[in-house]
Homo-oligomer: A and B are copies of this chain.
């Protein structure tokens, strides 16, 4: 078990590009409740099952296990195509933290989110210049929400920046 505390931001510009190679992520939620999600992910050629249990506003207990790639693909294939999120993940260090940039594809194309993982909810983070508005607590940006209401379906005025 891993305590996951992360902050999410929109990006202001393309200043993050070129800092890492993309890895294709395909993922979906095979079940969820108000405070728990069960996610299947294929990251590159690795399969994962992840249970997240919410324990605070930006904190979750995360239980992640590698599973056979074939199983992960079968589980994803048991979902409807619209339930699957595809994105490129770019991972690199900057300003003393590891940043993960998700560039969404398909129905969420156009959305780019930067995430940084913290050791505590109060930890200070120096923000790179390309980091924009914080969206940590805005549920429409959660991956689980993007399945039901993809970025491409939002009103133009809702879209940032």
Interface residues of A (CB under 8 A from B): 1, 30-33, 36-38, 49, 51, 53, 61, 63, 65, 67, 70-71, 74-75, 78
- Docked CA distance A134–B30 (Å): 30
A-B contacts besides A36-B78, A38-B38, A49-B49, 5 pairs, CB < 8 Å: A1-B71, A31-B31, A38-B51, A49-B51, A49-B65
Chain B residues contacting A67 (CB-CB under 8 Å) are: 63, 65
Taking a contact as CB atoms under 8 Å apart, the answer to whether B74 and A1 are in contact is yes
- State the majority secondary structure of interface residues on A: strand
Taking a contact as CB atoms under 8 Å apart, the answer to whether B53 and A75 are in contact is yes
| 17 A-B residue pairs with CB within 8 Å | A1-B70, A1-B71, A1-B74, A30-B31, A30-B36, A30-B51, A31-B36, A31-B37, A31-B38, A38-B51, A49-B51, A49-B65, A53-B75, A61-B78, A63-B71, A63-B75, A65-B67
